[in-house]
Amino acid sequence: MIDGVLRTGANEWEIPMGYVPGMRVPGRFFLSESLGRILEPGAVQQLANVATLPGIIHHALGMPDIHWGYGFPIGGVAAFSIEEGIISPGGVGFDINCGVRLFTTPLVHKDIAGRRDLIDDLFSTVPTGVGAKGSLKVSPKALDGMMVKGARWAVEAGYGMPGDLARCEDSGFMKEADTRAVSAKAKQRGGPQGGTLGSGNHFLEMQVVNEIFDPVAAKAFGLSIGQVCCMIHCGSRGLGHQVCTDHLKVLEQATRKYHITLPDRQLACAPITSPEGKEYFGAMAASANYAWANRQLIMDAARKVLAKTYSIDYGDMPLVYDVAHNVAKFEEHSLDGRRETVCVHRKGATRAFGPGTSVLPPDLISTGQPVIIPGSMGTSSYILRGTHTAMEKTFGSTCHGAGRIMSRSQAKKKLIGKDIAAGLLKEGIIVRAPNENAIADEAPGVYKPSDEVVNVVHEVGISRLVARLSPVGVIKG
């Protein structure tokens, strides 16, 4: 482990006060010893930097997929007091509400095994990669609808089923959205990109449930062995990117105005109660809503392809859940025995609310919230459930993915996209991408083993394993 970091449990580590000047609370992260060997000093430094922010409560937290990002580390979580705390785009990221959803189908593995035509059809239906525009014409009124109502806008416009909404975190929208705080430039970018996947680590993947760890929770989530599912990973596209860019500049000035000292300019922030902080929060919430609407549009397109290809009913493809990875939210948590509303930032982390949490829909209240952890192209994805331990230790949060271990430049030098695709095909996984670099960039070997990351969250108890899914067909952005 990196010098200066203290072990406090089997998979728990502490960054003590003083690791960087100005820390207000210690840092705490969850990692196995072997994952600790590949932890970057930059990620620890970034987590310690978060601990210097005004109003931070208890700890700056790192999930087991912690790695070096910008501002917060990826896998970073922090809660802030409403009165004394700050809001920072560096704790959310450029891709606001980048997130993931999973829906089930009545199909089984043999229905989709080797079906390149299905993967080709999905690839041509869902626009992907750099420069992609949506086939949907989003009017200014519709764009406002996406930003205000989120997934509900899409369902009301005919792109989904009412039951989808209860299976989205916060019903697929944040009520605090303020479209006036979203610049004309951001709206200009968001209009043409509705229903597009984007690039980088975004994907649409056909998967098969091949292991159930928790039959009770799996049943509640609608998952069974051998069942084909579809996972979608994307965010708020250019609209969210522009909102972050615009407000980062405003908050840089606000940082000076409110005399906040920062170790990293990307942590630019303002008090939650300040006009600048409120405007960023309103614009961020509008972007988060756009992202929920966007994932709803992509799910609708994929459902229609599957319904047509297999003559199955659209209604037989229910949404298991949709989670946000990059977002700040007002949430009620127990602090030293009393309930208090705090502002939780999750940057590359997933909400993992435990059983009994009042915001969960009635059919999920006894199991806890479904948590979706995507693997990489060739490795398993996992469904977990939120826990009481997460509520106690991490403000109801867990990891969001495997976490990279190899840079994109190394990946391009060492790996050849078509070799990766050929190797995956031998394992029965069909890959389509706009170019070979996109495959090399996201090859299985550039990520930590997803099994090891989810084992840590399971052992620590901040979420518990429910099911494992294997990839069969992948569309890379």
Partner 1 sequence: MSYEEIPHTADVKIRVRSATLEALFSDAFAALMEVLYGPDRKGGHRHVITISSDDTESLLRDFLSEVLFVSEVDGLVFARAEIRIDGLNLTAHMDGEPFDRQRHSSGTEVKGISYSGLAITHDANGYMLDILFDV
- For partner 1, the binding residue among 142, 161, 405, 416 (CB under 8 A) is 405
210 sits near partner 1 (criterion: CB under 8 A): no
Binder of partner 1 out of 26, 55, 76, 93 (CB under 8 A) = 93
If one asks whether residue 68 binds partner 1 (CB under 8 A), the answer comes out as: yes
| Shortest Å, Cβ 368 to partner 1 | 29
Q: Is 253 in the site for partner 1 (CB under 8 A)?
A: yes
- Please report the sign of the dihedral spanned by the C-alpha atoms of residue 348, residue 50, residue 462, residue 358: negative
Phi, psi of 291 (to 5 degrees): -65, -40
- Alpha-carbon span 85 to 64, nearest angstrom: 25
Which residues, other chains included, contact 256 with Cβ-Cβ below 8 Å and sequence gap of 6+? none
Select 160 or 477, whichever has its Cβ closest to partner 1: 477
In the chain, count H helices and then E strands: 16, 19
Identify the DSSP state of 67. E
> Any contact of residue 276 with partner 1 (CB under 8 A)?
no
The distance of closest approach from Cβ of residue 133 to partner 1 in the complex, given in angstroms and rounded to an integer, is: 9
The one-letter code for the residue type at 449 is: P
Helix (H, G, I), strand (E, B) or coil at 90: helix
Place of tokens 């932890």: 39
The string over 235-246, giving b where at least 16 C-beta atoms fall within 10 Å of a residue's C-beta and e elsewhere, is bbbbbbbbbbeb
CA–CA separation, 93 vs 71, rounded Å? 8
CB 271 → partner 1: shortest distance, Å? 20
Number of residues near partner 1 (by CB under 8 A): 46
> Contact region for partner 1 (CB under 8 A) — 20-28, 143-151, 292-300, 403-411?
403-411
Q: Which residues of 187-204 are buried (b: 16+ CB within 10 A; e: fewer)?
A: bebbbbbbbbbbbbbbbb
> Taking the complex as a whole, how short is the minimal distance between the CB of residue 72 and partner 1, in angstroms?
10
Dump the DSSP string for 380-416: -EEEEE--HHHHHHSSSEE--S--B-S-HHHHHHH--
| By CB under 8 A, residue 67 contacts partner 1 | yes
Q: Does 329 bind partner 1 (CB under 8 A)?
A: no
Which member of 85, 172, 194, 238 binds partner 1 (CB under 8 A)? Answer: 238
Segment 408-437, which members bind partner 1 (CB under 8 A)? 408-410, 434-435, 437
Which alpha helices (DSSP H) does 184-274 contain, by range? 184-190, 215-221, 237-257
Is 40 a residue that touches partner 1 (CB under 8 A)?
yes
| Active site annotation includes 58 | no
**Residue 103 found at the interface with partner 1 (CB under 8 A):** no
| Positive or negative torsion for Cα 244, 463, 104, 318 | negative
Tell me which stretch binds partner 1 (CB under 8 A): 76-84, 204-212, 242-250, 452-460.
242-250
Shortest distance, CB of residue 429 to partner 1, whole angstroms?
21
CB 25 within 8 A of CB 56: yes
Minimal CA–CA distance to 470: which of 421, 424, 438? 424
401 binds partner 1 (CB under 8 A): no
Site string for partner 1, 109-138 (x = CB under 8 A): --------------------xxx-------
| Catalytic residue, candidates 247, 345, 400, 458 | 400
Q: Does 199 bind partner 1 (CB under 8 A)?
A: yes
SS3 labels along 300-314: HHHHHHHHHHHCCCH
Q: Measured from the CB of residue 112, what is the shortest distance to partner 1 in angstroms?
A: 27
311 binds partner 1 (CB under 8 A): no
Q: Which residues bind partner 1 (CB under 8 A)?
A: 40, 67-71, 74, 90, 93-95, 129-131, 185, 188-189, 198-200, 238, 241-242, 244-245, 248-249, 252-253, 264-266, 268, 404-410, 434-435, 437-438, 441, 477
- Which are the catalytic amino acids? 400
